């Protein structure tokens, strides 16, 4: 999954800022910092934009597992049970260990 996230970040950065904006550096934080600086936005703003770009692409990979009526918090709440258990087996440390959704707020613990 991590390789997919980094690959999609590369597609996002190149589509928004051109191929010269992509760094060969494998450090995700460095890539985010450089892309945010180049785009003249905060790192949080870049990551939020990346999330909007990435979510539909990830969800399209599992159309049978994501119910059409689910909203964002529903997807987060049900990711472990419906998506992660249906994809390739993962070590116990590579999963959402706790996801709690309350109106307007999500608390989750994830280790990989």
What pLDDT was estimated at residue 47?
92
Angle at alpha carbon of residue 51, lines to 61 and 84, rounded to 5°: 40
Average pLDDT of the residues of the chain: 77
The predicted model gives 3-23 an average pLDDT of 85
> pTM of the full predicted structure?
0.57
Going from N- to C-terminal start, the domains of the chain cover: 1-61, 64-112
**35 or 86, higher pLDDT:** 35
Torsion angle, alpha carbons of 56, 60, 64, 68, to 10: 30
Angle at alpha carbon of residue 43, lines to 74 and 23, rounded to 5°: 110
What pLDDT was estimated at residue 74?
82
- Look at 7-16, 19-28, 46-55 and tell me which has the smallest mean pLDDT: 19-28
CB 72 within 8 A of CB 52: no
Residue range 26-47, pLDDT digits in tens: 578 888 999 999 999 999 999 9
Separation of alpha carbons 57 and 45, rounded Å: 19
């Amino acid at each position: 999954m991590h390789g997919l996230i980094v690959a999609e970040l590369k597609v996002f950065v190149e589509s928004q800022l051109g191929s010269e904006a992509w760094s060969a550096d494998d450090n995700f934080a460095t890539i985010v910092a450089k892309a945010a600086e180049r785009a003249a936005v905060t790192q949080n703003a870049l990551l939020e934009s990346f999330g909007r770009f990435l979510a539909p692409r990830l969800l399209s990979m599992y159309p049978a597992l994501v119910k059409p009526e689910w909203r964002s918090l529903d997807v987060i709440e049900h990711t472990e049970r419906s998506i992660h258990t249906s994809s390739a087996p993962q070590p116990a440390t590579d999963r959402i260990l706790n996801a709690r959704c309350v109106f307007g707020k999500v608390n989750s613990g994830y280790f990989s």
